[in-house]
Structure formats: C-alpha cells, structure tokens
Amino acid sequence: MSLANSKEQLIKDVEQNGILIVREALRFFDINEDFVFPHITITLCLSGSARAMYDMRVFTHHKNDLAFIMPGHILHPIDCTDDFSYAVFFISPKMFDDLRFNTFSHDYEKFNYAPHCSLTDEQAVHLLAIVDQLIIITNHTDEEMPHRYQTLLAQLAVGYEFLNLYRSEQDKHWTVKRHIEIFNRFCDLVVNNYRESREVKYYADLLNLTPKYLGKVIRTATNGLSPLRWIEQYVTAQAKRLIETHATQTLQEIAYMLGFSEPTSFYRYFKRVTGMTAKEYRNITTA
C-alpha cells in the first residue's frame, strides 16, 4: 500500500480498519503543506534524512529515528534527501483508546511532550518485525479472522511495550521544561477549542498567563512564531483538511464546522492567512 491515495481515502481507510500501515514510503507526499490528521501517526526513518515540523517545532530525522504525532496536531514536512524512506502507520483514536484501556493507562503523554526518539539498528529491526506482523493481521478480513481487532490490539500492545523499553534510557534524562509544558498545553487547548475561539487572550486565560508571557513562550518553542500565527496556521490547516476530505460539503458548511458564525468571516480569514481564497484552494485540490 502507498500514500498515493487522497487524504480523504486515507482517513476513511483508517476509520474503517482501525489502522493503516505503509511498510516503506519514499520521500514525503507533500512538501511544505500542513497536515492535521485525526489519528495517531507514527513514522520510523528507514534511510536518508528529513526535516519536519510537529506543532511548528522543527525536528530532523535520520535513520532509525521514530516520531509519534498525537491526533489533531500539525505535521508539516519541510524537505528530505533523495534516499529518504520511512515506515508509517496511522492508528484511529478509537483503537488507541481501546489499547490504552485494555493494556496501559500511563506514559503515553510523554510522546506528546517528546515526540522524537532514536533507536539502535537492532531495536529498529525488532520494531519492524512487529510492524510486519501487524501487516499480516490487517491483510485478513474480520470474516477470516473473527478476533482480528483484538489481535491487532494485542500486537500493538507488544509494540508499545518494546517502544517504552527502547525509550527507557532517553526517558531517564527526560524532564518537562516549563516553557515546553506550557507550549504543549497551549497546543492541546487549541486542538480542542479552536472552534470556540481564535483569540490569544482566550488561551492565555485558560493557562492563567498573560498574553505577553504566552507570546514569549510560544516564540521560544517555535523559533519566533507568535501564538496568533500558530492559531491561524492550525485553523487553516484544519480548513484545508475539511476542504480536501469533505468534497460534498459546501464552503459555507465547512465555515460552520470550523466554528465561524458567518461564512464571510471564514472566507476573509482563510484568504488573509493563506493568500488564496477557499474556493481557489478547493479548485486546486480537485483539479
């Protein structure tokens, strides 16, 4: 399976099957585009190197580097070498919640604060062996394997425990710095509340901070990006996702889905942030 399918089809596949795995993807699918997927995204670099932003923070990935992106957060590929390849799998929020409920109830938050870790060659081989087993399971239907879903959960639990083991040395020295903690809380708040408000003061109040101090924290974490610009990038990334994956919805309906009280407000917002109209973006994506 490849990543050549549309984002709409990719999301449908994950929702239908609970998990989608691409054993070896070549290069990034879209450079310098914001992606906001509604599921967990895990990547493992197989060769070459690449740079990407997660929630507007830049990370460089080399062979055996693993990244764990939580649902609703921003992935933005920047560039990659010609020999860059990676394994990637997407897990639906329902499957991830079932995994947490049935097997563990701790530790996963660390992947939100520290989404990047490096594996040894041996660890990467072991993890890929687990991925191969997951692929074998996903290739069977529920009719062929009546307990397919439970088997997937069990295999994911094995992978998660090994990943925790592989991260253990890194985690011994890992501490949450205050500005990173605030940054991640800010990101989570925007993910959950962007339909309610797109104002910096709203999020500063939720964090019991002044807008000025919040601005300082966000600029430090993102190398200069203001909290307002972060919010704008996030809202327009969600707008682009809805435009691409809800082809039967009108732009007016999408505006309401994003929390805008008036479609014209959304049109102005989208044009100001992206430099093109929502209609122009839809025409590009459907061309």
**Is the distance from CB of 7 to CB of 245 less than 8 angstroms?**
yes
What's the confidence (pLDDT) of residue 4?
47
For 242-256, the pLDDT digits (tens) are 998 888 899 999 999
Backbone angles phi, psi at 53, to 5 degrees: -105, 135
pTM attached to this predicted model: 0.80
Q: What percent of the chain has pLDDT over 90?
A: 54
How much is the average pLDDT of 42-71? 91
Topology of the domain comprising 7-172:
Jelly Rolls (2.60.120)
Within a 10 A sphere around the Cβ of 97, how many other Cβ atoms? 11
Residues 18, 22, 27: CA angle, nearest 5 degrees: 135
pLDDT band at 234 (very low <50, low <70, confident <90, very high): very high
| pLDDT band at residue 136 under the 50/70/90 scheme | very high
* pLDDT band per the 50, 70, 90 thresholds, residue 111: confident
Which segments of the chain belong to CATH 1.10.10.60? 178-286
DSSP 66: E
Question: What is the signed CA dihedral for 157, 161, 163, 168, rounded to 10 degrees?
Answer: 160
More confident residue, 1 or 46: 46
Which residues make up the CATH 2.60.120.280 domain(s) of the chain? 7-172
- pLDDT at res. 1: 44
Which residue type is seen at 251?
L
> Can you give the pLDDT at residue 66?
92
Find the mean pLDDT for residues 107-132: 85
Fold of 178-286: Arc Repressor Mutant, subunit A (1.10.10)
Which residues face 89 on adjacent strands? 21, 42
Q: Please give the pLDDT value at position 102.
A: 63
Nearest to 136 by CA among 123, 148, 122: 148
pLDDT tens for residues 92-105?
A: 988 888 887 666 54
Say whether pLDDT at 106 is over 60. no
Residue 270 pLDDT more than 90?
Answer: yes
* d(C-alpha 193, C-alpha 150), whole Å: 33
How much is the mean pLDDT over the chain? 87
Q: Which residues contact 127 (CB under 8 A, 6 or more apart)?
A: 44, 66, 119, 159, 162, 163, 166
Q: List C-alpha distances in Å: 96 to 17, 36, 100.
A: 13, 17, 6
Cα separation of 39 and 55, whole Å?
15
Locate 103 and state its tokens. Answer: 């097997």
Q: Hey, what are 171's tokens?
A: 């985690």
Give the model's pLDDT for residue 109: 65
Give the mean model confidence (pLDDT) for residues 152-159.
91
Per residue in 11-37, pLDDT (tens digit) is 788 888 889 998 998 877 677 788 888
Count of CB atoms situated within 10 Å of the CB of 146 = 10
Q: What is the DSSP string of 231-287?
A: HHHHHHHHHHHHHHH-TTS-HHHHHHHTT-SSHHHHHHHHHHHHSS-HHHHHHHHH-
Contacts of 135 (CB under 8 A, 6+ apart): 21, 23
